[in-house]
RNA sequence: UCCUCUUUAGCUCAGCUGGUUAGAGCACCUGACUGUUAAUCAGGGGGUCCUUGGUUCGAGCCCAAGAAGAGGAGCCA
């Protein structure tokens, strides 16, 4: 039976003959004995291999440095050193050496920027091992949650012709000859000649398609790649990221918020239960990293405590109007510390959101009922409101440290109101005929939201740069590996 | 896209007011050491000082342009 290092450390009884395969993290030694620490990705911990030179020819150890991959046959025994268990080698087979002169990773702390430049090898580091294991757990928990709640997993297209969503700049998909593109008589690019016979792009959201499926299947969710060609250079934006978009028939905005909170708590709890050692490792990493920071820039609580805090407290729910009033009465506003003016109708800026979440409530906050003027066409209008202060049933879930983690709304199901709004916003009714058909035939109240998966992974792992929570980050000017 | 900062050995960094042969720790190699834990000790090799142009007798250091990276902002998830 194949055993991994996690099993060796936690389950395998002592004095068992074992086979260990993994990559060397570190090597120490003296004349008689060498110590290798090995990791195989199954655990944040390493197992120590003891090599006595009277058993193993010293020649075999030549060239085995950090990064080498080995197969070790030996016996699992109680360690004389600080770790509980270790393996005394009986034989060693070298799968591959890693030339010390050129192998980039060393048994020392590297900067995250350096490791990012070597993203092809970073799965071998303790930090990224932990991050990617947690990422897996969260992804698995997403499916588990929705499955248990009666949702269907649906796949929406990655190549779309829709350009009505307005979620951001899009990547064009084309097979046209860019050297000599076909032109129409007016001198425009002739997309009739293109592969699909029309202009197509990578999806910026699966929401509109998910709505079609929800209005038939009831409760659905998507979990897939999403693309935005925005020139965003921040620690929380990617050009290619994974989005989770549940869409539910017969859910109003309250149901939508309840679901969002329950869902996020479920997946965080899952990671706490399934990756305690990885989280402990990352917690320690974060503490080390923040040692050099000023007190006020450090995280207010350790990682695991922060996650438990989120589970133990209900998210604060306030309306946009209430949020504006809190901000108007806040110290930074009165002392004119905000860069952006606070008044009803503005889109809340990062500094405002951060004040509400990190200073005022000190926990996750859900803001609802945003001004209609700053939100998308498909969001349901609230009734009977003061002229000039119309709102829509939109909600954002704000998390400390990363800001908006979820954006959602109840959708406008009324055909007349929807088309009126689309016309006002210059969105083509003809192109969106398929979307409007759901309102024309058997329309139903429904809601949904989108959650940026990487932002969730960021929050749970405490990683501050979103490029460090996806194996192959795509950002402006960077598509390496 | 805007603002700020950064770029010197494989990595992390130092390098004074512009001055002659550019340094340290770690990594790597060689050797020492009776079980190490960031092992330790001794020695060795290793440099396009981001690029281009300029100022100067002389530039790692000053000036200009550009590139890349980081942080923040905007856009958003």
ipTM: 0.89
Rounded Cα gap, residues A302 and A306, in angstroms: 6
Does residue A61 register a pLDDT over 90?
Answer: no
Over residues A199-227, mean pLDDT: 95
Does residue A290 register a pLDDT over 90?
Answer: no
From the Cβ of A458, is strand B under 7 Å away? Answer: no
Does residue A289 register a pLDDT over 90?
Answer: no
Does residue A266 register a pLDDT over 90?
Answer: yes
> For chain B, which bases have at least one atom within 7 A of a protein Cβ?
1-2, 10-13, 26-30, 32-39, 45, 68-77
A270 near A144, Cβ under 8 Å? yes
In chain A, which residues from 328 to 367 place their CB closer than 7 Å to nucleic acid strand B?
A: 340, 347, 349-351, 354
Predicted confidence band of residue A164 (pLDDT cuts 50, 70, 90): low
Tokens, residue A236: 């929380």
Q: List, for residues A434-449, the tens digit of each pLDDT value.
A: 999 999 999 999 999 9
* b/e code A185-212 from CB counts within 10 Å (16+ = b): eeeeeebeebeeeeebbbbbbbbbbbbb
Over residues A447-468, mean pLDDT: 96
Neighbour order of strands in the sheet with A172-173: A159-160, A200-202, A172-173
From the Cβ of A449, is strand B under 7 Å away? Answer: no
pLDDT at residue A323, rounded to an integer: 96
Predicted confidence band of residue A222 (pLDDT cuts 50, 70, 90): very high
From the Cβ of A452, is strand B under 7 Å away? Answer: yes
A36: nearest nucleotide, CA–C1' criterion:
B36
Predicted confidence band of residue A167 (pLDDT cuts 50, 70, 90): low
Does residue A255 register a pLDDT over 70?
Answer: yes
The structural domains of chain A, ordered by start, are 5-108 (2.40.50.140), 126-156+209-315+363-468 (3.30.930.10)
Q: List, for residues A111-143, the tens digit of each pLDDT value.
A: 899 999 999 999 999 999 999 999 999 999 999
Residue percentage of chain A with pLDDT more than 70: 98
Tokens, residue A36: 């290798």
**Of A281, A48, A270, A40, nearest in space to A143 by CA:** A270
Rounded Cα gap, residues A275 and A273, in angstroms: 6
From the Cβ of A398, is strand B under 7 Å away? Answer: no
In chain A, which residues from 63 to 122 place their CB closer than 7 Å to nucleic acid strand B?
A: 63, 65-66, 79-83, 86, 88, 100-101, 104, 106-108, 110-111, 113-114, 116
Query: Mean of the per-residue pLDDT values for chain A?
Result: 92
In chain A, which residues from 205 to 234 place their CB closer than 7 Å to nucleic acid strand B?
A: 205, 228, 230-234
Rounded Cα gap, residues A297 and A157, in angstroms: 42
CA A304 remoteness from chain centre: 18
Rounded Cα gap, residues A139 and A146, in angstroms: 11
pLDDT at residue A426, rounded to an integer: 87
> Rounded to 10 degrees, what is the CA torsion of A169, A253, A263, A212?
-60
Looking up tokens 């589970």 gives A311
pLDDT at residue A30, rounded to an integer: 81
Does residue A166 register a pLDDT over 70?
Answer: no
Between the CA of A67 and the C1' of B25, what is the distance in angstroms? 22
A205: nearest nucleotide, CA–C1' criterion:
B77
């Amino acid at each position: 039976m194949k055993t991994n290092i996690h099993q060796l450390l936690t389950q395998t009884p002592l004095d068992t003959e074992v086979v260990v395969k993994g990559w060397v993290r570190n090597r120490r030694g003296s004349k008689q004995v060498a110590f290798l620490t090995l990791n195989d990705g199954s655990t944040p911990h390493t197992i120590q291999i003891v090599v006595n030179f009277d058993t193993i020819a010293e020649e075999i150890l030549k060239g085995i440095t950090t990064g080498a991959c080995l197969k070790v046959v030996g016996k699992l025994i109680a360690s004389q050193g600080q770790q509980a268990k270790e393996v005394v080698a009986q034989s060693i087979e070298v799968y591959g050496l890693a030339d010390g002169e050129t192998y980039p990773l060393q048994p020392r702390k590297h900067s995250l920027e350096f490791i990012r430049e070597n993203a092809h090898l970073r799965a071998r580091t303790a930090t990224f091992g932990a991050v990617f294991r947690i990422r897996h757990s969260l992804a698995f928990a997403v499916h588990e949650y929705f499955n248990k709640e009666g949702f269907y997993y649906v796949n929406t297209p990655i190549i779309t012709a829709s350009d009505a969503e307005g979620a951001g700049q899009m990547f064009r998909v084309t097979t046209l000859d860019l050297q000599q593109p076909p032109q129409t008589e007016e001198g425009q690019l002739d997309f009739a000649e293109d592969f699909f016979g029309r202009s197509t792009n990578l999806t910026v959201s699966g929401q509109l398609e998910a709505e079609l499926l929800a209005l038939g299947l009831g409760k659905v969710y998507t979990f897939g790649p999403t693309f935005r060609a925005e020139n965003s250079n921040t620690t929380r934006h990617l050009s290619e990221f994974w989005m989770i978009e549940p869409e539910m028939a017969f859910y109003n905005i309250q149901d939508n918020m309840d679901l969002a909170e329950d869902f996020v708590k479920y997946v965080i709890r899952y990671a706490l239960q399934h990756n305690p050692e990885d989280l402990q490792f990352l917690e320690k990493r974060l503490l080390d990293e923040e040692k050099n920071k000023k007190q006020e820039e450090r995280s207010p609580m350790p990682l695991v405590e922060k996650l438990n805090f989120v589970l133990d407290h209900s998210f604060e729910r306030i309306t946009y109007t209430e949020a504006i009033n809190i901000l108007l009465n806040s110290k930074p506003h009165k002392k004119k510390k905000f860069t952006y003016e606070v008044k009803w109708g503005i889109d809340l800026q990062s500094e405002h959101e951060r004040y509400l979440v990190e200073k005022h409530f000190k926990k996750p906050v859900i803001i609802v009922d945003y001004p209609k003027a700053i939100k998308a066409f498909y969001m349901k209008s609230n009734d009977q409101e003061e002229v000039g202060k119309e709102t829509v049933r939109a909600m954002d879930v704000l998390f400390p440290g990363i800001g908006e983690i979820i954006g959602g709304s109840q959708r406008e199901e009324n055909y007349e109101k929807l088309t009126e709004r689309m016309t006002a916003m210059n969105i083509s009714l003809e192109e969106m005929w398929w979307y409007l058909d759901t309102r024309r035939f058997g329309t139903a109240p429904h809601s949904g939201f989108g959650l940026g998966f990487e932002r969730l992974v960021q929050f749970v792992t405490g990683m501050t740069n979103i490029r460090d929570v996806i194996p192959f980050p795509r950002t402006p000017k960077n598509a390496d590996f």
